Chain A
Amino acid sequence: MKTRILSIVLVLALSMALLAGCGGSTAPASQAPASQAPASQAPASQAPASEAPAEPQGWVPTKDIEVIVGNKAGGGADLFTRKVVEIMQQYKMLPVNATVVNKPGSSHVVGYTYLMENGDDYHMDVVSASFYTQPISGNSPFKFDDFAYVSLLCQDPNVMLCSNDSGFNSFEDVLAYAKDHPGELSFAGSSALSDDAILCELINATCGVDITYVAMESGADIMTNLMGGHVELGCCGPSEIGDNLAAGNLKAIAVSADSRLNIEGLKDVPTFTELGYDIHHQMPRGFVMAKTASPEAVKYYSDIMGKVAETPEWKAFLEENCMMAKYLDCDGYAAFNQELVDTYTEYIGIIMANQA
């Protein structure tokens, strides 16, 4: 009798462990739309799905698609990708299934390696800052020519913050102090080769000051150090600030974006461009495929992404996560990409030269 109970318990445990093994990447994506569709807006979700999916003429996928995310489940790139896939499935834009595959490791490089190994028409990978920083810093074996650019969907603005202890109230205060005291101010950002580091270098180069960059591990570390007054300046995405701005735990002094942010608490914060400095560096988010994919497939996905960008769910997602919409199709992105590559190359080069 006892061995019976034990074996039942062990079998249950084994099946749970099996769930662990295969449930990691695909389960949330496939379960979430199924459970949310009836729970949220039951009648409304049927009506807009009348968009006719892929027309018979032109290339159409015939196998299931894999969308690769080079990060763990739950991270920014992962949530972004899952939302895109969810909307595509909700509106039945694809005649096949699309699954999200997580390949974390080495800041997305493992993900791009996996993309290159399966460089056909059915594999896509999500783009974030690491796509640009890793090849330039020599950490990734791929070059920008190895990829086919599908589309850009949005950009993440950066908010420059300062601690309450620093006594600054505006960007001008910061610059005035920094010009008189070179090398004294610290600027916290996440990781050494990131958009935050580039923003700091952009400020140094454009405004002629010398602010020291301190690399932290994550948004959480930046926030705690700012609120604790250990660094004077810092930078993070608007979604990482939470309620701390409203609670008065720190101040926002400038925004690196194309226009002012339409987010609670940040509407009064000027952009760098308004202040007279040509800084509008943001993190791009989009999708790429391997160069070996056919141009028709790239165009097909690019059009689908365009449709995703028009949906109300996507707009709501962007607003919730404080991302700025910017849709570029495959040709537009390929052109814009050159600008991005130039900016990243220049500033990562400066950062790496400073380290030597």
Chain B
Amino acid sequence: MELLHNLATGFSVCADPIVLLYCFIGVVCGVIIGALPGLGPSTGIAILLPLTYGMDPVAGIVMLAGIYYGAMYGGSITAILINTPGDSAAVMTTLDGYPMAAKGRPAQALGMAAYASIIGGSVSVVIFMLLAPVIAKFALAFSPAEYFALMVMGLTSIAGMTGDDPFKGFVAAGLGLFVSTIGMDAVLGTQRFTFGSVQLMGGIDFIPVAMGLFGIAEIIYASAQKDGKKITITREELRFRKMFPTREEWGLCLPHIARGTVLGFFVGVLPGAGATIASFLSYDLAKKTSKRGDQFGTGVIEGVAAPECANNAASMGAMVPMLTLGVPGSGATAIMMGALLMFGMTPGPYLFDKNPEFAWGLVASMYIGNIILLLLVISALPLFVTILKVRPGVLNGVVIGFILMGSYAMNNRLFDVGVTLFFGAVGFFFKKLKVPAAPMVLAIVLGYITETNLRQAMIMNKGSFAAVISRPISAVILIIAVLLAFGTPIKSFIARLFAKKQAE
């Protein structure tokens, strides 16, 4: 009952038109910023943070939260329409979203991405509301050993992205692991593969790489095609009814959305693991548990729903440690925490006690924000799809401009722009050689975290690898990883055993 009372307080705080206005602004800006390739939620929040100086705290944080989950959806728009993910969390959406658009169903893909995002976000808010303190304890139980196990499970999902030739996928993953080692090592501070360059010492960030591999490579490759295959949209297709998924599609997707939301939320709760990893894991889980698993990558709608709900759920999950423990879970939440401190709130165990109107106002605004996102998507979806009507030459130029600008805006240095261009060339060769690029991005994201956490765990366990993998939570996760990796061959092996037995 107290929960409903608190929620009522929250909604009454949100009833203020100024707060609603800023929520709306936040969501709209978030979607636009997320859609612009190269600019992700952290950049968006960092850019619009100065607007919140001197603002009422609730309105300010509501706007920033709106940007966060708006950007998670926005990234999928360009991912689906032009195969260029707007941010790293949308990389998995390109795998099935773009083939769907190429087949002439962009509106359905965009619609499902939106609905999956909104369901993922709303359900996560409910989980957050009911279980926040308990979840915080769960986050604390993860030491580096458990993170290592989780990352190993993430790495096994590479097998699901290799497409036709697994060897090429593993080559890409291997290259990605190599790139992740470049820079200053986290545990001992030694320099690896920096060749004395000051810029390389900081390592290679995965966002410019993802933008290059997926965005620039795609544009160069598409331009190099002799027959300009344009996706034509008729007016008929943009009618509202077409954008709402059919009953059959809902039936296919809902189980994945349910699983993806829970998985995404809990992965997002862990500080350090964010929306990108959540979307990878959710896509892989959907692929392994779906009846149409082998069709993933050719344009099945579950392949769009699963990563999208996971990345929105993860963005909600990332707010749990920030609000309940004062520990920021990702880059974007770190900036939001700075904003909270600026407003005079101390995020941590006492936030909900000391500032209940603020905290519950924020929670209530997340519901409202998701509704605003839904309305926005319904009204603006035809507009998004008409992007495809722009002449490819113009569109490509604008997109390249945004990508390079986004790469620079991350760290204010031209080195990142160079990285994007370099990996754009690499991605083009990948496409020519039919090497999948997604494993490389996944390996870059996960490689660094896996290695660092393994070494930290071994230091903490006095050099004993057995101690690392025999801890309860990490053992469970590793067993799940083994089952996921070897599940299919084991299943078919057992099936053949049974068939033999029955034949006898």
- Residue numbers of A with Cβ under 8 A of B are 2-3, 5-6, 9-10, 13-14, 16-21, 23-25, 27-28, 31-32, 35-36, 39, 72-74, 79, 102-107, 109-110, 113, 137, 139-141, 183-184, 186, 191-193, 212, 214-217, 220-221, 223-225, 227-231, 242-244, 246-247, 249, 355
Extra A-B contacts (11), CB below 8 Å, given A3-B389, A13-B32, A242-B347: A16-B36, A21-B405, A27-B50, A74-B334, A106-B202, A110-B413, A184-B462, A216-B456, A227-B325, A242-B348, A247-B349
Q: Which residues of chain A come closer than 8 Å to B348, judged between CB atoms?
A: 242-244, 247
Partner of A220, one of B187, B199, B271: B271
Q: Let me know if B411 is at the binding interface, CB within 8 A.
A: yes
B34-56, CB under 8 A of A: which get 1 and which 0? Answer: 00100100010011011001100
A24 and B460 form a contact (CB under 8 A): no
Which residues of B (435-491) have their CB < 8 Å from a CB of A? Answer: 452, 456, 459-460, 462
Asked if A106 meets B199 with Cβ closer than 8 Å, knowing A10-B398, A225-B143, A244-B348, the reply is yes
Q: Which residues of chain A come closer than 8 Å to B328, judged between CB atoms?
A: 220
Q: How far is the CB of A107 from chain B (nearest CB, A)?
A: 7
A224 and B142 form a contact (CB under 8 A): yes
A246 and B350 form a contact (CB under 8 A): yes
A105 and B386 form a contact (CB under 8 A): no
Q: Which residues of chain A come closer than 8 Å to B389, judged between CB atoms?
A: 2-3, 6
Q: How far is the CB of B169 from chain A (nearest CB, A)?
A: 29
Bound form: Cα–Cα A109–B406 in Å = 23
Q: How far is the CB of A14 from chain B (nearest CB, A)?
A: 7
Bound form: Cα–Cα A18–B47 in Å = 11
B409 and A24 form a contact (CB under 8 A): yes
- Residue numbers of B with Cβ under 8 A of A are 29, 32-33, 36, 39, 43, 46-47, 49-50, 53-54, 139-144, 184-191, 198-199, 201-202, 271-272, 321, 325-329, 334-335, 338, 346-351, 383, 386-387, 389-390, 398, 401-402, 405-406, 408-409, 411-413, 415, 452, 456, 459-460, 462
Q: Which residues of chain A come closer than 8 Å to B139, judged between CB atoms?
A: 224
B411 and A105 form a contact (CB under 8 A): yes
Q: How far is the CB of A255 from chain B (nearest CB, A)?
A: 20
Partner of B412, one of A5, A102, A183, A220: A102
Closest 7 CB pairs of A and B: A230-B143, A243-B348, A242-B326, A192-B189, A228-B140, A106-B201, A247-B349
B402 and A73 form a contact (CB under 8 A): no
B460 and A186 form a contact (CB under 8 A): yes
B54 and A35 form a contact (CB under 8 A): yes
Bound form: Cα–Cα A18–B49 in Å = 16
Q: Which residues of chain B come closer than 8 Å to A32, judged between CB atoms?
A: 50, 53
B386 and A17 form a contact (CB under 8 A): no
A243 and B462 form a contact (CB under 8 A): no
A13 and B335 form a contact (CB under 8 A): no
B271 and A193 form a contact (CB under 8 A): no
Bound form: Cα–Cα A214–B335 in Å = 26
Bound form: Cα–Cα A20–B188 in Å = 35
Q: How far is the CB of B167 from chain A (nearest CB, A)?
A: 34
A105 and B198 form a contact (CB under 8 A): yes
A23 and B53 form a contact (CB under 8 A): no
Q: How far is the CB of A83 from chain B (nearest CB, A)?
A: 12
Q: Which residues of chain A come closer than 8 Å to B411, judged between CB atoms?
A: 72, 104-105
Q: Which residues of chain B come closer than 8 Å to A139, judged between CB atoms?
A: 184, 189, 191, 201
CB nearest to A104 among chain B residues: B411
Q: Which residues of chain A come closer than 8 Å to B401, judged between CB atoms?
A: 14, 17
Asked if A193 meets B347 with Cβ closer than 8 Å, knowing A109-B201, A224-B139, the reply is no
B39 and A17 form a contact (CB under 8 A): yes
B199 and A110 form a contact (CB under 8 A): yes
Bound form: Cα–Cα A256–B297 in Å = 56
Bound form: Cα–Cα A249–B327 in Å = 13
Partner of A228, one of B141, B186, B201, B383: B141
| Residue contacts A-B, CB under 8 angstroms, 17 given | A17-B405, A17-B406, A20-B43, A72-B411, A74-B334, A105-B411, A105-B413, A105-B415, A106-B184, A192-B188, A217-B272, A220-B328, A224-B271, A224-B327, A227-B325, A231-B460, A243-B349
Q: Which residues of chain B come closer than 8 Å to A23, judged between CB atoms?
A: 47, 50
B349 and A244 form a contact (CB under 8 A): yes
B406 and A224 form a contact (CB under 8 A): no
Q: How far is the CB of B287 from chain A (nearest CB, A)?
A: 31
Q: Which residues of chain A come closer than 8 Å to B405, judged between CB atoms?
A: 17-18, 20-21
Bound form: Cα–Cα A131–B188 in Å = 18
Q: How far is the CB of B389 from chain A (nearest CB, A)?
A: 8
Bound form: Cα–Cα A283–B387 in Å = 52
